[in-house]
Amino acid sequence: MPERRLQAENLHLWRGDRHVLRGVRFCVNSGECLQITGGNGAGKTSLLRTLSGLMYPEEGTISWCGDNIRRDLAAFHADLAYIGHEPPLKPDLTAQENLHYWVGVRRKLSSHEMNQELSRLGADQWGDRPVRTLSAGQKRRVALAGLLLMAAPLWLLDEPTTNLDAEGQRLVGTLIEEHLARGGVAVAAIHHELTISAAFIRRLELSSK
């Protein structure tokens, strides 16, 4: 199993005159999930966006497998799957079409693979319905199918269990555990504890001061 490591060193991020991230540092290895907690406005989403390379910290470095992510951002992004607050789905396309275009841009995708993951997420019954007709929880399940299909070793998840019922939340825990068991790394900003084994978990609490 290849050893992977996501490391942040002394991250400082300002948004206007607000010092959002103050010297954040952590290291998370293959088979580990970093749970980021903190109140509203503590900077959980900003940290995830900074880790993904979407935002530039004023100070500090982020490295993936020992290399600064800025040295080859495209290669880092090829290893990364990021799901934000809102699933990146087009309301006028069906769930299957959304996955075809979204994931297809990254990697070749067969319909068999897509249907298999949709079915795993319990989303196969509505795969051919326009996304605008789906509930928030159903959309989340489609987005999680996209996450699996991206087959990336690093997952950055912003509130992955939002809008999901209890069974859906357990499923997210199972998916993350399986990902970690395959040598993946996960970082999740959460409000509610993920249902995964404590052995996998590392924690980071952000202060909202």
Partner 1 sequence: MSTSVIETNSTGTSALEAARLVLARDIRLALRKRGQLVQPLAFFAIVTTLFPLGISPELSRLRDVAPGVLWVAALLSSLLALEFLFRDDAQDGTLEQHVLSGQSLTWLLFAKTVAHWLLTGLPLAVMAPLAGLSLGVPASALTGIVVSVAIGSVGLSLIGSIGAALTLGVKRSGALLSLLTLPLSMPVLIFGARATELAIKGAGFAPPLYLLGALAVLGITLAPLAAAAAVRISLE
Q: Which residues bind partner 1 (CB under 8 A)?
A: 52-56, 74-75, 77-80, 82, 84, 86-93, 97, 100-102, 104-108, 113, 116-117, 120, 148-149, 151-153, 175, 178-179, 182-184
Nearer to partner 1, 79 or 124 (CB): 79
CB of 183 to partner 1, least distance (A): 6
3-state SS, residue 26: strand
Looking at the DSSP bridge assignments, the partners of residue 203 are 35
Please, are residues 132 and 95 in contact by the beta-carbon 8 Å criterion? no
Amino acid at 2: P
Q: How far is CA 28 from CA 25, 38, 65, 187, in A?
A: 10, 18, 10, 8
CB of 75 to partner 1, least distance (A): 7
Nearer to partner 1, 53 or 203 (CB): 53
Nearer to partner 1, 85 or 203 (CB): 85
Looking at the DSSP bridge assignments, the partners of residue 161 are none
CB of 74 to partner 1, least distance (A): 5
CB of 158 to partner 1, least distance (A): 10
Backbone angles phi, psi at 125, to 5 degrees: -70, -25
